Amino acid sequence: MLPTVELKTTCDLEHYLEESDPVAADRIRVARASLGRRVVVLGHHYQRDEVIAFADVTGDSYKLAQAATRTEAEFIVFCGVHFMAESADVLARRDAAGNALQQVILPDLNAGCSMADMAEITQVQACWEQLERADLTRGLIPLTYMNSTAAIKAFCGERGGLVCTSSNAQRAFAWAMERGERILFLPDQHLGRNTGMTMGLEPGEMQVWDPWLPQGGLTGKALQQARILLWKGHCSVHQRFLPQQVDQVRNRHAGIRVIVHPECRWEVCRKADAVGSTEQLIRMVEEAEPGSSFAIGTEIHLVNRLAVRFRQQGKRVMTLDETGCLCTTMYRISPQHLAWALENLVEGRVVNRIKVPAEVRHWARVALDRMLEVG
């Protein structure tokens, strides 16, 4: 039986933030019951448990954006970060005239992504112009990781490139190498380097472009020799993992398997037993034999959730970093923000709608569709 909670007649977020988690949870349940199938709530793996509890679908960013398009929901409440909500809007269902049949809502607009913010569109455009002056854009294919803004996705789509995820980066790189001489990879240098190294490229064939330095801080010779230009960006969570932590956890726990996300630095990935996307890391634990032990190099909320989930199967899961690696921007979305967004929908107000401009949406969709073709 649902609790009796009076729906608010104000959209004042500050009042909601004063509520306790249990009260916010009660409000969410009532609002969800009122909205029914008109709304779908998506929860990224890195969200806090109090939010994940209300997610209709959990997953990584692209899985969630795809899941949203398969529903009949009018409203997609995306409990993730800004670039994820943008991707959901790009992929959202539209009528023949291009009008949105689904509206995407981000419960807290402050939930951004530090990695995505490291590749700002004007910086990327300036980079391209410098490469043009050096006669290096012919045969240059721009690729961007899913963790980027819609503007960056559109930049790549318009110039013959595509989007990739951490699970299909190798296929995306191979696709680009068949069509060009060089790759400009945005915005995560670690995923780009790990992918290139796995494909047999030498370190000297991959150079880091620093957007804050003239010509990316690279000499003309380095630019000419580079097959992959790696944007100087990173995930603030995954960069915290260090190679010495791999050694330490193995010394303390005999037989433990170390599995890490490819956003970790190369020195960590090289020492790990396996490297995989968020979904792949989960699958590794799912398919392991009872009694298996894992130290996982990824965000702490997911690691803790896996530890609880698989404890009854006799599997031990711990974090690679004992201090815990929290995605602080993802953490900004709270049950209070979710209650606020849902109750406003009940009252006919759409708050914090994420709406990608039409031209950007078109080219971003081109880049995403190419990714689907790659597989």
302 falls within a domain: yes
**Is 163 part of a structural domain of the chain?**
yes
Query: 120 and 230: one domain?
Result: yes
Q: Are residues 99 and 122 in the same domain?
A: no
Considering the domain architecture, whether residues 206 and 249 belong to the same structural domain is answered as no
Same domain, 151 and 161: yes
Given this model, what pLDDT does residue 7 score? 41
At residue 362, the pLDDT reads 96
Q: What pLDDT sits at residue 11? A: 62
Q: Which residue stretches of the chain have pLDDT < 50?
A: 1-10
DSSP for 60-124, written as a single string: -HHHHHHHHHTS--SEEEEES-HHHHHHHHHHS-B-TT--BSSEEE-S-TT---HHHHTS-HHHH
- 120-187-233 Cα angle (round to 5): 90
Three-state DSSP state, 245: helix
pLDDT in tens, 101-127: 999 999 999 998 999 999 999 999 999
Q: Tell me, what's the pLDDT at 12?
A: 80
Q: Which residue's entry shows tokens 């003239």? A: 214
Residue 182 covered by a domain? yes
Q: Are residues 165 and 62 in the same domain?
A: no
Helix runs in 253-299, H state only: 266-271, 278-287
C-alpha to C-alpha distance for 210 and 114, rounded to whole angstroms: 16
CA–CA separation, 180 and 195 (whole Å): 17
| Boundaries of domain holding 126 | 115-236
Burial readout 243-276 (b: 16 or more C-beta within 10 A, e: otherwise): bebbeebbeeeeebbbbbbbbbbbebbebbeebb
How far is it between the farthest Cα atoms of the chain?
A: 70
| pLDDT, position 83 | 93
Residue 366 is assigned to a structural domain of this protein:
no
Pair 310, 334 in one domain: no
What percent of the chain shows pLDDT beyond 70? 97
On whether both 162 and 242 belong to a single domain, the answer is: no
What pLDDT is recorded for position 306?
96
Give the CATH number for residue 286.
Answer: 3.40.50.10800
The residue from 219, 236, 253 where one domain ends is 236
Same domain, 89 and 133: no
Residue 107 sits in the same domain as residue 58: yes
62 lies in a domain? yes
pLDDT value for 6: 40
Domain identity same for 64 and 137: no
H-helix segments, the chain? 13-17, 21-35, 49-52, 61-69, 82-91, 114-117, 121-133, 150-158, 169-179, 189-198, 220-225, 243-252, 266-271, 278-287, 300-311, 335-346, 358-374
Q: How many CA atoms lie within 13 A of 101 on its CB side?
A: 14
Examine residue 139 and state whether it is found in any structural domain, yes or no. yes
Tracing tokens 């779908």 back to the chain, one arrives at: 40
Nearest to 293 by CA among 247, 243, 258, 246: 258
CB atoms within 10 A of CB 311: 11
Judge if 242 and 286 occupy the same domain: yes
- Which SS3 state, helix, strand or coil, does residue 159 take? coil
Other beta carbons within 10 angstroms of residue 232's beta carbon come to 17
For residue 308 the two structure tokens come to: 């609880």
Does residue 324 lie in a domain region?
no
Evaluate if pTM is beyond 0.85. yes
List all residues 6 or more positions away from 295 whose beta carbon is below 8 Å from its beta carbon: 246, 249, 253, 256, 257, 258, 259, 318, 319, 320
Q: In this predicted structure, what is the pLDDT of residue 62?
A: 80
Q: Give CA–CA dist 8/28, Å, rounded.
A: 12
Structure tokens at 175: 């696709």
pLDDT value of position 1: 38
Instruction: Fill in the amino acid letter for 74.
Output: E
Q: Are β-strands 182-186 and 206-209 bridged in parallel, bridged antiparallel, or unpaired?
A: unpaired
Q: Which has the closest alpha carbon to 154: 192, 182, 181, 186? A: 186
**Residue 180 sits in the same domain as residue 208:** yes
Q: What is the rounded distance in angstroms from the CA atom of residue 1 to the CA atom of residue 66? A: 32
CB 157 within 8 A of CB 151: no
Which pLDDT does position 3 carry in this prediction? 39
* Total domains present in the chain: 3
Residue at 367 is within a domain = no
